[in-house]
Structure 1
């Protein structure tokens, strides 16, 4: 069954008369990016790539020379002034961490690395073995959090924090691209980075930017979204994982237990005006599970869709009231 999701508010602003769609694309953050826009200067591709290069230079845990990489190696008990973009993303990530009781924690990079989903000693390299319970307990015992000084845009490195912004940085990168287009007066576009999307305006024929929600299984039921003033992010257990002794270990780690999630959730999709917000909350709700996650989504007014694996191999869909209100 095919269903349609529409935004509550639709702008009446038409695309430029006689406008055509132009495409730009490239690679960044270990994935691909693309932009479809009605109009744009000849050097738009370079401007878009520069926005993404800024995110990588500041927030990549894969680049040792990034601002994040330098912070992770900094001596214990030191303050560090952060670039404003890095500070804002980290601050938002810590807010989500607080709101979820630690279910989505940007300070949990050591656990991500331990399970082989970081930049070194990866799960897909020869000789990798899942960590022992003692190793997980050891990392949990030494976990700490950064402290932020908003006035000075500084962060305190207690000595054991390994920041990992992978649950939020792609969404932020999408917002950076959208912001670049907005500043240039380009109001009709579709932006994508590694499967996270944001759209504005309409196509030259007056149709919105229609996109299908990512599906972990064919029996999930298709939902197409009019991506008009909205962004979409999906977190799931099917993107990156490894199996050992018939056990499946997805890449999403619960920072509270130190273990990969085992809630039966196949995916969580969040729709929001901000892709950074959608990205962070899709991960957080995945970790929380459908019951606790749905309650939190309702309290915070999040449009969320949960797909949960059933014993017979099918998927059970549960949506928040804010998500359901947009379904036609």
Structure 2
């Protein structure tokens, strides 16, 4: 399933401003209506650089890289890291531990970090990595993030891209922009409407070619998608994807193909799409129906067939 923006812009009575670029290992696209160009590309790139210096594991001088050093016991978090880490703790609790930012040692062990692997990790290596996994081994003390073990390392990629979309959206709103669509790496947030007064429209592909794709109407919401077709590899005839179970130390193996999440913020949607990918269909729907302002669309496999399931309020966003 692919989330794409379709038909987002009618003939504009107000000028339309468009910015595209690369960030966080992917691309971004920002479009907004406003009488004048009040947010320019350099402002967007500056905001992205600040976030990278906070939470990019690929930058040697970032705060998260410093925190992940075995020599570091604690770090004073900046505002961005505080927002993301506090949300991570909240989602960890709601998901009963399925969402866990300390899985980095396991992510690296299974070849989804900076180095690929040629053989599956041995159980002894998995057990060793598990000793340094678990958000109970982290503490927040005011603005400080503290490790209970020196070998603890964190990876915020499962939530930071969605947060970045929210930051860029907030930047637009601070300049009085009320109608916009922000997209980064497939994570989307929209507010207001097109110039014809209609909500922005996001196309969703369904798993069966015999079924017509449908269109979501977003007025002031975010939508993200996670799937087992992303960040995968095949070894010894087995398809391995990057969602790691922090309790077992192994990649999640279930029949979920992809999950699309609608939420009020892109950070919430981004975090929870990882959670729903790791749950059974029934448990995922139960959680989604219990969460406020959260709807999901699940594609799952039964035998050779792909099927789909929806949370109770999902169809409220589907264009008739």
Whether 2:283 is the aligned partner of 1:292: answer yes
User: Taking structure 1 as reference, are residues 223 and 256 closer, same or farther at Cα in structure 2, changes over 3 Å only?
Assistant: farther
**Partners of 2:260 and 2:18 in 1: CA distance:** 26
Whether 2:196 is the aligned partner of 1:196: answer no
User: Taking structure 1 as reference, are residues 28 and 97 closer, same or farther at Cα in structure 2, changes over 3 Å only?
Assistant: same
Q: Which of 214, 217, 234 is the aligned partner of 2:225?
A: 234
Aligned to 2:53: 57
User: Does the 8 Å contact 2:32/2:179 carry over to 1?
Assistant: yes
Q: Which of 99, 113, 130 is the aligned partner of 2:120?
A: 130
Q: Which of 76, 81, 84 is the aligned partner of 2:76?
A: 81
User: Does the 8 Å contact 1:81/1:153 carry over to 2?
Assistant: yes
**Partners of 2:25 and 2:208 in 1: CA distance:** 24
Whether 2:115 is the aligned partner of 1:121: answer yes
Write the mapping of 1:109-258 to structure 2, written as runs, cut at 5 A. 109-118=104-113, 120-122=114-116, 128-144=118-134, 145-149=137-141, 152-157=142-147, 158-213=149-204, 218=209, 221-258=212-249
**Partners of 2:241 and 2:104 in 1: CA distance:** 15
**Partners of 2:167 and 2:75 in 1: CA distance:** 24
User: Does the 8 Å contact 2:207/2:307 carry over to 1?
Assistant: no
Q: Which of 61, 68, 72 is the aligned partner of 1:72?
A: 68
What is the deviation of 1:324?
A: 3.4
Aligned to 2:43: 47
| Greater shift in the superposed pair: 255-264 or 276-285 | 255-264
State the TM-score, normalizing by the size of structure 1: 0.87
Report Cα offsets for 1:77-107 as digits up to 9, x if no partner: x332110110110111111112212111011
Q: Which of 68, 88, 91 is the aligned partner of 2:86?
A: 91
What is the deviation of 1:326?
A: 3.5
RMSD: 2.0
Report Cα offsets for 1:64-88 as digits up to 9, x if no partner: 2111010000536x33211011011
User: Taking structure 1 as reference, are residues 252 and 325 closer, same or farther at Cα in structure 2, changes over 3 Å only?
Assistant: same
**Partners of 1:28 and 1:102 in 2: CA distance:** 29
User: Taking structure 1 as reference, are residues 219 and 141 closer, same or farther at Cα in structure 2, changes over 3 Å only?
Assistant: farther
User: Taking structure 1 as reference, are residues 216 and 275 closer, same or farther at Cα in structure 2, changes over 3 Å only?
Assistant: farther
**Partners of 1:207 and 1:90 in 2: CA distance:** 36
What is the deviation of 1:214?
A: 5.6
**Partners of 2:229 and 2:23 in 1: CA distance:** 22
Report Cα offsets for 1:135-187 as digits up to 9, x if no partner: 212211333421011xx311112212111011101100100110000000011
**Partners of 2:129 and 2:212 in 1: CA distance:** 40
User: Taking structure 1 as reference, are residues 325 and 225 closer, same or farther at Cα in structure 2, changes over 3 Å only?
Assistant: closer
User: Does the 8 Å contact 1:214/1:234 carry over to 2?
Assistant: no
Whether 2:268 is the aligned partner of 1:277: answer yes
Q: Which of 90, 98, 115 is the aligned partner of 1:103?
A: 98
**Partners of 1:214 and 1:177 in 2: CA distance:** 27
State the number of aligned residues. Answer: 304
User: Does the 8 Å contact 1:265/1:289 carry over to 2?
Assistant: yes
